[in-house]
Structure formats: C-alpha cells, structure tokens
Chains A and B, each alone.
Chain A
Amino acid sequence: MSSDRGHEQELAHLERELKARDLLLDRRSREEMNYEVMHAMERISLGWLLAAFVLGGLVFLGLGLAWAYQIKWGLGVAGINRPVFWGVYIANFVFWIGISHAGTLISAILRAVGAEWRRPITRAAEAMTVFALMVAGMYPLIHMGRTWRFYWMLPAPTQRLIWPNFRSPLMWDMMAILTYLTGSLIFLYLPLIPDMAMARDHSKAKIRRKLFQILSLGWRGTEAEWKHLHVAMAIFTFIIIPVAASVHTIVSWDFAMSNVPGWKSTIFGPYFVVGAIYSGVGALGVVLVLVRKFMGFGYYLREQHLDNIGKIMLTMTFFWTYFWYNGYLTEWYGAERALDFLREFMTYTGPAAPFFYGMLVTNIVIPIALLWSRAGRTTPWTLALAGISINIGMYLERYIIVPVTLSRNRFPFSWGHYVPSPVELLISLGSLSMFILLYVLLSRIVPLISVWEVQEGQVMHVIRRVGRTLVPGVVHWHKAE
C-alpha cells in the first residue's frame, strides 16, 4: 500500500512538472484568465504615464520639430552628400521593414505548421509588424527631397496626366509595403475580434465599452462565427507568408537592381529576407521579455517560449552568417576593382572598419555565445541581450549597405565620407520612440496575449493517464467532428 502512495506522489509530481513546462497543460479557469488580462490592460500606473509622456516628447522632438526643420530648409541639414546620396534614413527604412518581418511571418509560419506553443506570442508579434511598418513607411517620405510632392508617386489620375514609372523598383517597393501593411493589419485584427468581445463584456468604463463594442464587430461567439474566423485565419496565414517574403525581397531590389558596386548582387533578395527575419526575431525576443516583465505575464510567457524564440534566433544566426559569408566570399574572389576599394574602406584599419567588425561581433559572436545553452535562452535578460545585440548588428549591416557602400565608387576622385547629422539622429530617435510609444499605448487598449487562443489551446490539451504514467495529449476539434 505504501508503494502505491509513493506512486501517487510521483504522479502528482510529474503532473506539476508537465504543467510547469507547458502553458497549455496548466489550465486556469476562463474567468480568472480574462480578469487577469483585463486588469493588466486597465491599470494605468504612474510609470506608464511617465513612459508615455517621455516617449511622446521624443516623438514630437524628432518627427515633429526635426522633420519640420528639414522640410523647411532642405535635405542639406542631413549629413548626406555626393556620392553618399542615401544615408541613415534608408538604413532606418530597411531596418524597420526588417523588424516588421518577424512579427507576421513568424506568427503565420507557426500557425501554418500548427506549433501550439505560439498561442500566447502571436498577438505581440503581429502588433510589432504593424507598428514597425508604420515607422518604416514614414522613411521614404522623410528621405524625399520634396516630401510635399509624395503623391506624385501614387498611381492616381491627376491633371498632370502622368503615370508613375513602373520600371522603378521604388514603385514596386511602395506597392509591396502598402500590400503588406494592409495584410498584416487584417492579420492582426482577425484574431483580435473574440478578445475585443471579451473586453467588451468585461469592461466597466463606458468609453472603453463603446470602443470595444465597435472593435468587436458584434461578435457573439456562435459556432458559425467561430467557423468563419478559423477559415479567414487559415486563408490569411497562407496569404501573408509569400507577401512577407516578397516585401523584403523587393526592398533588396531597391539596391540589387542598380549598378552600384556592392549593391548589384544576386543574393540580395534571400539575404535581405533572412536578415529581416533575423532582426525581427531578435526584436520579438526583446518585446516578449519586456511584456512579460511590465505586464506581469509570467504565467503566459514561460521558459518554453523564451527557449523556443531563442532557438529560432540561433537558427537565424547561422542562416544569416551563411548568407552573408556567401555574398562576401564570392565578391571578394570576383576582385572587382570598385569592390576592392570598398573592402579597403571597411576592413582592416579602414575608416568604416568599426562598423564591419562591430557587425560581425554583434551579429555572430554575441548571439551564439548567449543562445548556445538552454540557460542562456531561458534567462530573460540574456535572451533580451541577444535580441538587442542582433538588432545592433543588423542595423550596422544596413548602415554598411547604404552609406558605407556609397562612399566608395569607381572614381577615386569622387569618393565621399558620411557622418549622420544631429537632425538625422533626432529623427531616428523619434521614430524609435514612436515604435515603443505605439506599443505602450496598445498595451492599454488591446490584450497583448491572445486570450481566446490560449484558452482554446488549453481546452485541446489534456494530461492523460496511460498505464502507470501521465502523458500530455491533444484533442483536435475539427478532426473530432
């Protein structure tokens, strides 16, 4: 008899272990979960107000004052010159498009392959995509010489009787980004509807209830509604993956379609996609760690999620390294004269060498060192550090591709040197602040955890007793029919 009791204890211990390991087995009542998420969403603390205020101030300084100053006086207030006609604005543009990738792409791929652990992270990832795209979308406007004429690039019938030039990669780029922005907004919104309905049913404040009433589109949770939602999600999951891949390919074509030495490269398309996912996953890791800490979502975002995100980051480290090395090696062997000039400029003791070696260290050495072990992946601060390092590295990569590459060309007499001006730095800071501010604001309007998806996952996952042990099991509702 005593051995039976010992066995029961063992099973209880095993059950606790299984629950700790997997959120979907660690079931909580829906009411408890709804309350917790709503509470985190409605609480407006002093710290939150302060953060929103400071970020808002920085946005005003950068995107309000500095940009207005630049429009008033001309692009001469930026550090760009001849031959470095494109500077940090374009580097920022590529960077933010890159960040936007992880979100939707990761979430869509994980949905497509039915990775169950994705459930609590998809919302935060999809929101990241939309915000990063909004920031990225401003940069072509900031970068333009005559911003006030931006609509001349739109294919709209006007009295000018002139259509945009569809041979220009910039036009493809604009189309791709607008498509992606539309797609990812829908992709964020669709799975938000049931949670908006939940928020509508649970909020007490009148304004909030009104807002959620509108956003939930009258969701009642009938079987037909669920079915439609799942069908729509399935369609969009598979639409958004090729769209996302095409967007960054087209961004790379802004460079690869040119005949600038260092840009005209056949590997740029996939290289940019890989780099985008890499920086995006890095940013997602940082966002998840911050959401977990500041929203008190330790229950939802667990070691398993950090570990998995860390593994994706590490995989992407190797992918990126491989693509970068492949491009670098073939160009080096090609020994094109203008590229030799560029390599002299950015390697050994050249003026741009800190960027080049900085990129290699932050993009390869630090992430591998931090993410190699499970302990490194599951410790929030090391994971966040790896994510930040990756994003510094990927920024340096874009900086090398844009102003550094343009500094050298086929005519040594016309070489240039680029240093970002205070206006450029302020605008960059303003846009970073805008991204964070949008996130901070969103955290009080929308549950950053997809509550219904977690609940759905928990309904589908059970711990079963098989023989003398416990095993986790999965029920697929659509197959059970």
Chain B
Amino acid sequence: MSRQNGGTQEHRWAMIVDIDKCTGCGACITACYAENNIPVVGEEEIHKGRHMGWVRIERYWEGEYPDIRARFIPIMCQQCGEAPCEPVCPVFATYHSETENINVQVYNRCVGTRFCANNCPYIARVFNWFDPVFPEPLHEQLNPDVTVRSRGIMEKCTFCIQRIRQVEEEAKAEGRPIEDGEVQPACVQACPTEALVFGDLNDPHSKVARLAQSRRAFKLLEDLGTEPAVIYLKGGDAHVV
C-alpha cells in the first residue's frame, strides 16, 4: 500500500513541471540558492560535480546542427511517496513527513553516510563537501528561516518547507483552510513562464490536481514505483522526455 494513503495525509504537496513552458532560463535555480542558503562553490568544484543546487535543469540536444534543438527538464527532489532514500538512512535523518506528505531531511541527525544519495534514482541529493562559505556581502542575505548546513551532511529540495509551514500556521491562526496557490516555493515564484505550479493534490479543485489529470502528465522513472509528487507535463511535440 502506498504511503500516500497512510499517515494523517492532511496534504499531498505536489509540483507540476510543464516542460513545454520551460525555457531553461535558470531563474528557479537562482531563487532556490537565495531562499535556501545554498553555498556557491565556484567553477572548480562544479567541474568536479559538486554544485550544490537543489534544482538542476538538464539540457539535452536533439538532432544535428543546424537542425538542432535544446530540450530542458528541471529536476529536483521528487518528494516520493515511497522514497528509496528513507529506508537506507541508519539514523532517520531522512524520513517521510506524515502531515505534509513530503520527504524531509533533518540536518542535525545526518551523519553523512551518503547512502540516501546513492539510492536516489533521480540523483536529487547534494552533499556538503566542505563547510559553506558566504563571502561578503552574501552573508547579509542569508534566509533566517533556513538552517545553514555544516560540512559532512546531506541536503536536498524541501519544497521550501519553511514557506509551507508559515502558510499553514497563518491559516491555522486565522481559522481558515489554506487557499490554492497560497504556498509558493521560491522556484515556482521565480519561474517567468509559469512552467512550475505548486499546490495540494489532496484538494481536488487545486490547479495541480487539475493539471495532474492532463494527458501530457507523466512521472519520472514511474516504473520504479517511487510515487513522486512532482508531475511533469510533456512538451507538445516531444516524444518522450
């Protein structure tokens, strides 16, 4: 039985990624860096494959020059319902949050075995190879709502859980349900083409729930049975992405 049906299942936060609308501009990545206190590691480290971004835009070329076109697909943590990263962690640093129905990472519990990272079929997890450095004036813009992580621990996209929590608490204080579109992760907010849509799948009237019914909808590596909460919409004339 899927864990999506377990727990309190109050929400099933989900994201729609419309590949047809993605221009590969990278605004989502930048917004994510700023929102989540992600350190900038520099050219040399990136060349080694150590960029820390929680979202990556994979770019594939189709055809031969001059008849060539680029394809973009943003990939972040898929917030799996049956996440392969969870059972392998020896210290419960990564586990399934029952209220938000997403996969959370507790930085303070992580001892850095990196088993979760290997077991993630989406290669969505990043590791703090060194202590983060925020050269002036970058340290002035650190987000106080997000922990700055130390060396030796794993991290990944959280669906901006600090923003989810904030809206949840505000709505609770005002005694009203959360409105559709009220929660916006940084990447969704920054996307100029509105390729990214965020919302609650448990709310049948939400935009994500409607878009998830689209004939263009598919999930990454669906055959693995990970039950991702990120739903992609195929590009118009693309075969398979």
A146 touches B110 (CB 8 A): yes
| CB-based contact A168/B123 at 8 Å | no
**Does B68 sit within 8 A of A, measured CB to CB?**
no
Determine the distance from Cα of A167 to Cα of B115 in the docked complex, in whole angstroms. Answer: 13
Contact between A416 and B111 (Cβ–Cβ < 8 Å)?
no
Write out, one digit per residue, whether chain B residues 86-117 have a CB within 8 A of any chain A CB (1) or not (0). Answer: 01111110000000000000000111111101
- Number of B interface residues, CB 8 Å? 44
A409 in contact with B123 (CB, 8 Å): yes
B30 within 8 A of A: no
Is the C-beta of A29 less than 8 angstroms from some C-beta in chain B?
no
- Which chain A residue lies CB-closest to B75? A411
Asked if A169 CB lies within 8 Å of chain B CBs, one says yes
Interface of B is mostly: loop
Interface status of A222 (Cβ within 8 A of chain B): no
Interface residues of A in 85-137 (CB under 8 A from B): 85-86
Q: Point out the residues of chain B lying under 8 angstroms from A84, CB to CB.
A: 49
Query: In the complex the two chains form, is B48's CB within 8 Å of A144's CB?
Result: no
Do the beta carbons of A75 and B152 come within 8 Å of each other? Answer: yes
CA distance A146 to B153 in the complex (A): 7
Q: Is A144 in contact with B109, judged by CB distance below 8 angstroms?
A: no
Q: Is the CB of B123 within 8 A of A75?
A: no
Q: With A and B bound together, what is the CA distance between A283 and B119 in angstroms?
A: 32
Q: Tell me the complex Cα distance, A417–B50, Å.
A: 11
Name B48's contact: one of A81, A167, A258, A259 (CB within 8 Å): A81
> A76, A85, A414: which contacts B58 (Cβ < 8 A)?
A414
Query: How far, in angstroms, from A254 to B114 measured CA to CA in the complex?
Result: 12
Flag if B122 contacts A82 (CB, 8 Å).
no
> Given that A165-B87, A167-B87 are contacting pairs, would A145 and B50 also be in contact in the complex, using a CB cutoff of 8 Å?
no
Mostly, the A contact residues are: loop
Residue pair A74, B152 in contact (C-beta under 8 Å): yes
Q: Is B131 an interface residue (CB 8 A)?
A: yes
Q: Are the CB atoms of A74 and B50 closer together than 8 Å?
A: no
> Chain B contacts of A143 at CB under 8 A?
113
Contact for B121 among A81, A149, A167, A259, CB less than 8 A: A259
What are 30 A-B pairs at a CB distance below 8 A?
A: A75-B129, A75-B151, A76-B45, A81-B50, A83-B117, A83-B123, A85-B117, A85-B118, A86-B114, A86-B118, A143-B113, A144-B152, A145-B114, A149-B111, A152-B109, A153-B111, A167-B87, A168-B115, A169-B115, A171-B90, A258-B84, A258-B88, A258-B115, A258-B118, A259-B121, A409-B123, A411-B123, A413-B58, A413-B60, A417-B49
Interface residues of B (CB under 8 A from A): 45, 48-51, 56, 58-60, 75, 84, 87-92, 109-115, 117-119, 121-123, 125-131, 150-154, 221, 224
